[in-house]
Each structure stands twice: as structure tokens, then as C-alpha cells.
Amino acid sequence: MVKIRDIKLGDFPLLLAPMEDVTDPPFRYVCKLMGADIMYTEFISSEGLIRDAAKSVKKLDFDEFERPIGIQIFGHDIESMVKAAQYAESAQPDVIDINYGCPVRKVVAKGAGSGIMNDIPKMVEMTAAVVKAVKLPVTVKTRLGYDEEHKEIVDIAERLQDVGIEALTIHGRTRPQRSSTPSDWTLIGEVKNNPRMRIPIFGNGDVIDPISAKYYKDNFGVDGLMIARGSYGNPWIFREIKHYFKTGELLPAPEINERILISTMQLQKSVEWKGEYRGITEIRKHWGDYFKGLSHFKPYRIKLMEAMTLDEVMSILAEIRSKYS
């Protein structure tokens, strides 16, 4: 049984990665339905949170159904991160997660996200301060290193564990690398197999289907997998991976009725949470993935991208159901 402190996550948990503009409560809801074992909020700016910026504060929202849930924060100033962690704790999540992995230039330029990997002593000091400031378990998500010449994750993992983190997720790329570069799990395996490590180690990077999931599970000894882009418009990935682990069989792609059922759940919750205009426009990024593989789908995708009201979208989904059933 893998645990973060007293939080039981099962024998080999599947984690939904925190992703900006993706892992909002509506999307997390459908991923939980499909078997995600622990999920994280979109990453939240520590500066925005302590200044009560509306966008940052709203990201603290979650439903009881989503538990266990982690709130992820990022920032470059230790004092601000401490205050943000305490603020996040007041929302009563299960875990506080620190983002040391974001590669976005404007974040890195301030020394936040993966930018802090260029200053490991500060990274350790910040982590220790957050751990001390809150009662909840603190976890970290990070990368292999600042760049190819500084892949120091084995040492970093020990030092972060020593100051009190209770789980570590490692993305198998360095700060400059993007998804076009295959992830390298070699050092993730080294961290997991380091006899000094006693906390759960989760691997992240290129887990896009059941076959890749089994490969990383079998070859690197990790305690669980974190899934990011493999979940886009595909909350079924959690169900599919668990079925494959259990039976060795690949489930068929979900039928059109289920695709429409689950995407409609996300749509309706998106509208409830954000209002009709934002709810409809912000779910647009998911439509292509929800209906991936359907022949001659482009005209319907264009309609979905242009629809401006909930009634319009529901009417288009009814057309799709009729066409592909």
C-alpha cells in the first residue's frame, strides 16, 4: 500500500498531474470518476494567493468527491511561499504540493518553477520553510535538473526528503526540454532505488497509454505514475491503465455514447463553475481529444469551437451522437 503520511493511495496509484488551464474542478471530476487516485489543482502563484487575486483564490476550489486532493503552489520568495502554503492549508486539502517543475519562461525567469533548480540551497531552504509552516503533508514535483549539465535529482531528492517532504514526483526531463524530447527515466529509477530514500517516488513523462504505463512501472520501480497530456480529453486513461495492469488486455476506445456522456458532465460542471461564456470557451481545448479517431469529424469540431451558448453545444453533441451511433 502506497501512502502519503496516512493517505492510502492503493498498491500502485495513478496521479493526475497539475496542468494550467486543464486540471480545473470539472476536468478533475471526470478523471476521478475514471479512477485517478490523487489529483492536484492547477498550479497557483504564491504572490497571487497572498494578495487575494481572484484567479488564484478560485483555483483553491475543490469538491469533497475529488479527495484526496493536493493544492499546488509555486513562487520564488520563501516568505511568500510560506504564507501561500498556510493560505492553501486553510482550504483543507489533503496535501500541499510545491511546483519546482514548471518550465514556462516567465516563471523560470523569476527563479520559480524549474528555475529554482539553478539554486538548490534555496530550493531546500524554501521546502524546509513550507514543511515547517503547515501541518499537512508536503510533496514536491520537479524535474531531473536545471539543464543537461546539472541533472542533480538524486542528490536533490535526498535533501528534500531530509527536510520533511512526504512524496516526490519526478518529471523525466530537464528544465529546457519539452515533450518533443523523449523523457529519460534512468535517473528516476536511480532515485527510487537509492537505499536512502524512504518516501514514495512517482514518475512522470510520456505516460500516454496503458502500454507505456506498464513499461515505466515494470522497468523503473516507481511507486506510481503521474499522467499529464495523456489525459487530455481522455479521462478514460486511468481506467484503461488499471484494466491493463490487472488483465493484460487493452480496452477498446470508449463508444460515442460514453464520450458524449462524460464530455457533457465536464461541460455542465464547467458552466456551473465558470459561467456560461467561460465554461464553453475554456472547454474547447478538449473537444478534439474527446472525439479523436472519429472519421470526418472536422465539421463538428468547427461547430463546437464556434458555439457560444450551452444550448448550441448540447444541440451539436446530439448531432454527433446521431451521426456516430
What string of DSSP letters covers 231-257? Answer: GTT-TTHHHHHHHHHHHS-PPPPPPHH
Tens digits of residue pLDDT in 172-196: 999 998 888 999 999 999 999 999 9
Q: Final residue of a domain: which of 192, 223, 247?
A: 247
Q: What pLDDT shows up at residue 178?
A: 85
Give the domain CATH number at 232. Answer: 3.20.20.70
* Final residue of a structural domain among 195, 213, 247: 247
One domain, residues 285 and 223? no
Query: What is the rounded distance in angstroms from the CA atom of residue 20 to the CA atom of residue 153?
Result: 24
Average pLDDT over the chain, rounded to an integer: 96
pTM to 2 decimal places: 0.96
Residue 215 above 90 pLDDT? yes
**Do 231 and 271 share a structural domain?**
no
Which triple of cell numbers denotes residue 23? 486540471
19 with 132, same domain: the answer is yes
Write out pLDDT tens, residues 262-313.
999 999 999 999 999 999 999 999 999 999 999 999 999 999 999 999 999 9
Are residues 287 and 221 both part of a single domain?
no
Please tell me whether residues 49 and 93 are part of one structural domain.
yes
What range does the domain containing 295 cover?
Answer: 256-324
| Structure confidence at residue 152 (pLDDT) | 96
Residues 129 and 148 in one domain: yes
Q: Output the pLDDT for position 180.
A: 86
Do 154 and 207 fall within a single domain? yes
Give the model confidence (pLDDT) of 73-129 as tens digits. 999 999 999 999 999 999 999 999 999 999 989 999 899 999 999 999 999 999 999
Rounded percentage of the chain residues whose pLDDT exceeds 90: 95
User: Final residue of a domain: which of 190, 215, 247?
Assistant: 247
Examine the domain organization and report whether 123 and 168 are in the same domain: yes
Number of domains making up the chain: 2
Residue 285 and residue 242 share a domain: no
Q: In 121-138, which positions are buried (b, 16+ CB within 10 angstroms) versus exposed (e)?
A: eebbebbbebbebbebbb
Beta-strand ranges (E) seen in the chain are: 3-4, 7-8, 14-16, 38-40, 44-45, 69-74, 95-100, 138-143, 168-171, 201-204, 224-227
Q: Catalytic one among 39, 102, 131, 156?
A: 102
Say if residue 165 is in the same domain as residue 264.
Answer: no
Q: What is the mean pLDDT of residues 5-14?
A: 97
Same-domain pairing of 199 and 216? yes
| Contact predicate 162/195, CB 8 Å | no
Catalytic residue status for 31:
no
* CATH number of the domain to which 318 belongs: 1.10.1200.80
